[in-house]
Structure 1
Amino acid sequence: MTETLPTIEFFEGLPEEVSDVRLRKEKSTGCHNVLMIFEKLEALERFNSFRQRFSKALNLTDSEGKISVEPDSLRFIYGGPEGDDLQRVECSFVIEQDDHWDRFMRFMERYAEANGMGYQDQNNQ
């Protein structure tokens, strides 16, 4: 069996590269908040957003299968001299169930390892 490289896609067949991931747990509800930051989107670079149907989901795929999450928020942050240079895209969503959180974290560990990323606990700095 060949190992599936972890991918993150807004559009099927067009992998995106996440720049940063921020994780937070709401003490009052126990829900986990995820913020994924992309410095660029291949979908915009290649204009595929106009040729392929956006499923309104962020698909995370690895050797265990596909996780499909619907973002609560998708913010496009622009800057530069004219204010029209895409600086980053922020995609946030909530994970309420512990077993879904565990699955997400297994995906993120695989994604981080495959893409040279590391985990840094902000509370211990």
Structure 2
Amino acid sequence: MESQGRPSTPGDEEVLRQQDRPRDSDSHARIEFEMSDPAVRELRQEVEDQEEHLGTLMSGMYRAQAERWNQALREAGSELLSQICPGKHGRHGRICRLDKGHESGGDPHWGKTAADRPVAWLGSAPDDD
């Protein structure tokens, strides 16, 4: 059966999705298209949920460093702030509050979200400076 000139049998949704896929020449549109896939959106939400869960579990372990970071911000302690990891995911409102070099010991980035919830993540993002 067809609806508005488009087939409606099982599996047709994926066929139509592939037909609507942007061509390789428009990489931004293609990335946006792939990221809009329902399975990708579901996976992204699952990753974000796990990052917040891990961040909460690790809060006690990093409490001293978080307090030192907060104190440096209150007192404009540029020397101490210069020793903090440059890792951030600005687009997601995350700033790592651990010391530079923590990743060499296998520790993830740890900080707070824009909503002030603890979060931990691995790796970097394009907006890391």
TM-score by length of 1: 0.25
Larger radius of gyration: 2
Q: Which structure shows the higher strand fraction?
A: 1
Structure holding more helix per residue? 2
Higher relative contact order (CA 8 A, sep 6+): 1
